[in-house]
Structures are given as structure tokens and as C-alpha cells.
Structure 1
Amino acid sequence: MANDSPSFPGGAVSQLKPKQQPGLQLAGRREADRPISEYLVSEKFDGVRGRWTGNSMMTRSGHPIRVPPWFTKGFPKDPLDGELWIGREQFEAISALVRNKNADPERWRAVSFLVFDYPAIDSPFGERYSLAVKRYAHLSPFLHVIPQRRIQDSQALNVELDKMVAQGAEGLMLHHQDARYRAGRNGDLVKLKRYQDAEAKVIAHLPGKGKYLGMMGSLEVETSGGIRFKLGTGFSDEQRRHPPAIGSTVTYKYYGLTQNGVPRFASFMRIREPL
């Protein structure tokens, strides 16, 4: 994954003062409240939040993640904030791997640690990103600094969002160039997604394959308009073992419709309980 450091007003990185590692930062908005050109924009990856402490990988809640020693070989001694990721629409796979303490270590070769912030440095995000690219972009085949880019206006941002969603991305993240890293909800960090939700009736249970052998692989559902399609993501293993009953109604999320009216990237959300 190539990374090019953007240029910022003021030239060289400044005020690079180490600070005590804070708690996790979370997105505080769903839309930007400043000019789009002031944000750095990246893909929102649907992985598992990972916090590299400098010597171990931790979950969002602070539990250790058992990763093979070779996976983190070459990782820096500095703390990094990022995402453990396998691929688009592979959240269940990475989630299961992180939870499985006895997983085959070779499965980790499909995983990347995608770094989206450098919390140990007390400087604006634009400078933190530039420094992270300079220091960490080439340390390990399993560590990548997420590319950030500038988009000039809302129209271009919407075009980019539509393009990324069509490719299977979950959305975009907008990080204001001057934002400092701080624990909790940060209004300078925007999580931009575009999906709708609707309901459909369960028509059939389709069998699973591979790791889902013996469980439900997907649901065949039908909308009120008579459109039938499959829901194959968004389920826990427990829901696959005990899927929503045929005839029940489920809520799903989706990202627009195809030319044939079929929901794009549809994913199960919940069973709609009868009133």
C-alpha cells in the first residue's frame, strides 16, 4: 500500500512533543462542519480496532490480542492507533480471528494493521500523519499507514463516497487537519457513511459452506415490492445457528439499488419483532 505524504501550510512538521498515551479517540460527527478542503479523507475500514502499545496489540476495550510474534516484528516502540483488517466485507472473518485465542497463526498472514493515527505526538493531525508516513510506512509487510487525501468540496466528496461504497467500502473518514488526538468523541473526526434501511420477509434459509457448514449461510428475503435477494452478512455465529424464522420480518441496511431494484451490499441488522 503506497503512501504519499501531503503538503501542509507551514512546511516542516512542528511541535512534535511526545505525550502520555491517551484513551481511544472516537468519531464525533456524521457530517463535516468546516470546509471540506480542510479535512484529510480516507476509507473507513470495516475491521477490528487495534491499539499497538509499542510492545503488544490491544482491543478497543483494552484486552490483549494474541498475534504471532512474526506479525509484529519490526513494529515501532511508539503507540499507534489503527484497524486490524482482512478485506472489504470481511468483518466477521477478522472478528472471529481476533476472538479465537487458538487460531492457526498462519491465518494472520491475511491480516494488515492499518494505522490511522499516531496518538503519542502532541501535534495537529496533518503533522501526525506526515510523520507516521515518514517513520512507519515501510517497517513491516503487515503494517500500513492509511493513505489520506484532500478533497476540495462537498460535490467531489459525494462522488468519492459513492465510488468507494460501490467498491464495497463502508464509507469515508474525514479528519480535520488541525485536530489534536483526544480521548472520547472528537467533533473534528467525521464518520461518513451512506446507507438506508428497510424491511423484508424471510423466504428461505440457504445452507452455509466452509466455516459456516451446518449453519445458515444466507437468508433469501422478499421486499414488499416483490424483489427477492440474499442477505449473507451481518449475522453472528449464534444467529447463523438459529436464523430468523421463515415468514418473519428482518431489517437490513443497504447502499442504494441496482438497475433491477435489488439492494446493493445488503446486510442483516435485526429481526423486527411483531407489535
Structure 2
Amino acid sequence: MIGRRRLLWASLLALAAGRPAQAAPPALMLAEVYRQGIALDDYWVSEKYDGLRGYWDGKRLWTRGGEPVAAPAWFTAGLPATPMDGELWAGRGRFELATSTVRSRTPNDTAWREIKFMVFDLPAQPGDFTARLAVLRKLLPLTAAPWVLPVAQQRATTHAALKALMDKTVKMGGEGLMLHRGASMYRGERNTDLLKLKPYDDAEARVIGHVPGKGRHVGRLGALLVEMPTGQRFKLGGGFTDAQRDDPPAIGQQVTYRYNGTNASGLPRFARFLRVRGDTAP
């Protein structure tokens, strides 16, 4: 009964806001953090694109959070019936453009011309990742939709080479690297078959409250009270611009924060706000 009531309220609120009701999030493979010492023999490595996760189910495009993407008809017209997992990306250093474009309920044709769908996996394709990658390379790119591209993959070698590639990627404006284990099947869960390597740790938490500011921040946000997937809560007070303190993330939204390791209780050390996760709604 509670689940039905929540779904009904979500639908009513969505209609009131003038947007479609959110569907159940697609079961996507999520990454763990790469740590030195992991055997790299069977991993493929690619750039980590700083965009929004996009899932094409063969008929429609969805965000990771289960919201339909209001892309122009021409953007999806040439896509195959094959489900595809990838990143809706506007280029290095253009995350805000990608977010505003993909999240808009009314597609901006000019802005969508800047978006590419960088595909890195085929969730419904049988076989391990190496086999799926071979099929993906034959499927893409598409003449009818040149903005849909396969993510370039290369074999990982050593930790030192991986670190050098990450540094080079970050210097060029990239976010980091992703590693896919070649022998892995597609599993819609977080696991070590998919790893991310960035120059800092980051994680996500849900906003559950606003802490009023003090001193020069009186009258606006002092910190966000957030809840981790583990249920642990902490105050996230650093990393905000003045504009973000004046108009903070809404309660219920997912935010990404960066941090430097964890303490004995599992809470992040020196956590700083990074951004609102673009594929979720409050």
C-alpha cells in the first residue's frame, strides 16, 4: 500500500510540475573505485566522460534515475532497437551544458546539436564485455546518427601506465578513466567489474535538510544535511559558491561530493560539494 501511495504522489507531483512521472530506474552497471593492486590483466580502459548517464532501451532514452529524456526526434530517429548504455556528453568541461540540455522538458534543438551519445556497453547483448565490445564496434558509429559513437577502449597494462594516462586525460580537461573487466557479464548493480579512476574520491548522497548559515552566510545555506546510501548522515558545508548557497539543492535531490578518504566510522573526510547529480529530480 505504501509503495502504491508513493507512486501515486510521485505521479501527481510530476503532473503538477508539468513533467512526465518518473519510471523505475533502469538496472545499470555501476562502478566501484579503482585501487592500486587490482590485477589489470583482463581490463579495458577508456576515458570517463563528464556528462549524464543515458540508457537507450531500444525505443526510448532514459536517465540513470529513470526519467525520460526529452531529446529531439531527430536525435533518436536513427538509433537501433538494441539497448545501449552510455553517456550524454557535451564535451570536456561542459557538464553544465549537458545537464541543462538533457534535463530540459522542452528540447532545445541548438543545444542538442552539441550533445553526443557516447556508448560503452550493450546491456542486452549476450557474452562477456570483450564479446559485447566487438559487437558494439560493428554497430557504431551510425551513418544516420553520427552523434552516437562507441567509446574508445584500449587494454590496460600496468598501474603506472594507467596513472600516466589518467594524468594526461585530466590535463586535457577529462574527468578520469573507466575500467571494464573483459570477462564480465552485464550486471545491473555496483561491482568491481566496472571501476573508475579519478584524481580524487567522490560519492553521492541524498539531501535531507538545509542547515542555516552563520557569519557572512547568515540568511542562506550554511551546509546540506545529507544521507549516504548506508544510511549514515553528515553535514556537507564546503565547496559551495555564493549562488549555490542562495539557491541550494532541493531536499530529495542527489548530490555528488568529493572527499579525502574516510574515518573509522565510514564518514568522508574533508567532504566538499561538487554538483547536483543531473539525472535526478527532488
Give the TM-score category using the shorter length: 0.5 to 0.7
Checking the alignment, whether the CA contact within 8 Å between 1:46 and 1:85 is kept in structure 2 is yes
User: In structure 2, what is the equivalent of residue 83 of structure 1?
Assistant: 87
User: In structure 1, what is the equivalent of residue 112 of structure 2?
Assistant: 108
Corresponding residue to 2:63 among 52, 59, 66: 59
Q: Does 1:155 align with 2:189?
A: no
CA distance in structure 1 between the partners assigned to 2:151 and 2:243 by the alignment? 33
User: In structure 1, what is the equivalent of residue 78 of structure 2?
Assistant: 74
Q: Does 1:96 align with 2:104?
A: no
Q: Does 1:50 align with 2:41?
A: no
User: In structure 2, what is the equivalent of residue 189 of structure 1?
Assistant: 194
- Alpha-carbon shift at residue 105 of structure 1 (Å): 1.7
- Structure 1 unaligned blocks of 5 or more: 1-21, 198-233, 244-251, 255-267, 271-275
Structure 1 consecutive aligned stretches of length 4 or more whose deviation exceeds 4 Å: 234-238, 240-243
User: In structure 1, what is the equivalent of residue 149 of structure 2?
Assistant: 144
Within 5 Å, give how 1:127-142 maps onto structure 2.
127-139=131-143, 140-142=145-147
Corresponding residue to 1:39 among 40, 43, 48: 43
* Alpha-carbon spacing, 1:152–1:137, altered in 2? closer, same or farther (3 Å): same
Within 5 Å, give how 1:191-270 maps onto structure 2.
191-195=196-200, 239=244, 269=273
* Matched residue type, 1:53: D
Larger Rg: 1
Q: Percent identity?
A: 43
Checking the alignment, whether the CA contact within 8 Å between 2:87 and 2:119 is kept in structure 1 is yes
Aligned residues: 196
TM-score by length of 1: 0.64
Q: Does 1:178 align with 2:180?
A: no
Checking the alignment, whether the CA contact within 8 Å between 2:70 and 2:107 is kept in structure 1 is no
* Alpha-carbon spacing, 1:253–1:27, altered in 2? closer, same or farther (3 Å): closer
* Matched residue type, 2:56: W
CA distance in structure 2 between the partners assigned to 1:110 and 1:166 by the alignment? 22
Structure of greater relative contact order (alpha carbons < 8 Å, 6+ residues apart): 1
Checking the alignment, whether the CA contact within 8 Å between 1:32 and 1:190 is kept in structure 2 is no
* Matched residue type, 2:176: G
* RMSD after superposition: 3.0
Checking the alignment, whether the CA contact within 8 Å between 1:47 and 1:84 is kept in structure 2 is yes
TM-score by length of 2: 0.62
CA distance in structure 2 between the partners assigned to 1:70 and 1:40 by the alignment? 32
- Structure 2 unaligned blocks of 5 or more: 1-25, 203-238, 249-256, 260-271, 275-282
Give secondary structure in 1 for the equivalent of 2:110: helix
